[in-house]
Amino acid sequence: MKLNISFQGNSCQKFIELNDECTVCKFYEKHMATEVAADALDEERKDY
């Protein structure tokens, strides 16, 4: 799954590619533009 995360306040974009099935399942049944906590992705993104 490929994610393109953007913050329009300062025109910042982040591209993340996820290959782990457990990580990807946290995005199932979500709508476009739904906010998801970054710590759900992995350990290195807990501060986002």
Question: Per residue in 1-48, pLDDT tens?
Answer: 888 888 878 888 888 888 888 777 877 888 888 887 777 777 766 666
Residue 46's pLDDT is 65
Residue 5's pLDDT is 80
Q: Do the domain assignments include residue 21?
A: yes
Residue 37 domain boundaries: 2-43
Q: Do the domain assignments include residue 48?
A: no
Q: Measure the CA–CA gap between 9 and 44, rounded to whole angstroms.
A: 23
pTM of the entire predicted model: 0.50
Residue 4's pLDDT is 83
The total of structural domains in the chain comes to 1
Q: How many CA atoms lie within 13 A of 14 on its CB side?
A: 8
Are 2 and 14 within 8 A, CB to CB? no
